[in-house]
Structure 1
Amino acid sequence: MTNILILPQPVGKTVTKSGYGYSNQSGKTVTRSGYGYSNQSGKTVTRSGYGYSNQSGKSVTRSGYGYSNQSGKTVTRSGYGYSNQSGKTVTRRVWYGYSNQSGKTVTRSGYGYSNQPGNTVTKSGYGYSNQSGKTVTRSGYGYSKQSGKTVTRSGYGYSNQSGKTVTRSGYGYSNQPGNTVTKSGPDSLYV
């Protein structure tokens, strides 16, 4: 398979109809965007693909699985794997989609979990988001590890904003202030 080079985007307000592997950290809106996006400080993520994480946004509507809106107010018509920790309402949820806010570790857990202040999530399914943890290993797609140091053997749709290294990662990655991205590209998919 052919490696795809994706250039970093400027700090824009909007990313529209964009391809995978982009990350608009300080933008306001990501619309009709592909998978592997992460809009940390944006206000809204609409009709977005899987693997998104809008930490400080207000609403996530008609979104795919693997979302986590920690400080938002409402999650409506959401798929499985959602967790609205401090929000006011979660409507039409499906059965699974738990969240362990203050726990230290979630191990071999099903998808749709979110362990915000915990330290480690290992061998977890897709749809996880470990915001303040140190390591996410052998994780499925749809993850976003904002303050962690390392993401190894991870699936596509990851974004390690403040980490130092992303190794053997699949496509759709973006390591903005980090130092190294090695052996990445669409032919290196380790889930």
Structure 2
Amino acid sequence: MPLLLDICICTCKRPNQLRGALQSLAVLQLPPDAAVTVTVVDNDPVGREGAQLVESLSAEFPLPILCVLEERRGIPYARNRCISEAQRKGADYLVFIDDDEWVAQDWLIRLFSYAQAIGGHSVVSGSVVRQLPDSVPEFYSGFFSRKRRETGDRLNYCATNNVLIPMEAIRTFGLRFDERDPFGGEDVLFFTEYSARGRDRALCGGQGV
């Protein structure tokens, strides 16, 4: 049976950005030895724009796609709902991207292949290239640039904007995103805890994935 990868996107009141992310997933090249599903967690209990968008796209979307509503407002609630949905599906890996990102066609193949090449038990954080509108003055780009990592660099923490997480590690360590501060910083805490508790399981990143 192929391994199951669940790509999860949390969203709230950003249907245009979410549409771009989903359009990039619609033309994704898939790993030959894996099954892929998509989960969208809409964190807007009133407007439900994300849920409406997914419903409009689902009939022709090339991957199994599910949208669930998380009524508790705050990103850790939405991310923990992603964990719950991935567990319910029996996923082997949870893959996070943000709703304002789009991915290269070979992105998942590169991310998953690298994870498998280093044993399949490690969190792998891929690179994110920021693109600013043409109207933004060039000197502002320095404020948004990030240090480029070498593939295989060991990390103490990472963000959830391009990351593959073995569900095995989540189950083993009982990991969840900290809900005490629902508006920021919990992803750093989550991966810091993973790094501290899973010393035999690398947390890696790099340009090539």
Higher RCO (CA 8 Å, separation ≥ 6 residues):
2
Give the structure-2-normalised TM-score.
Answer: 0.26
Task: Pick the structure with more helix per residue.
Answer: 2
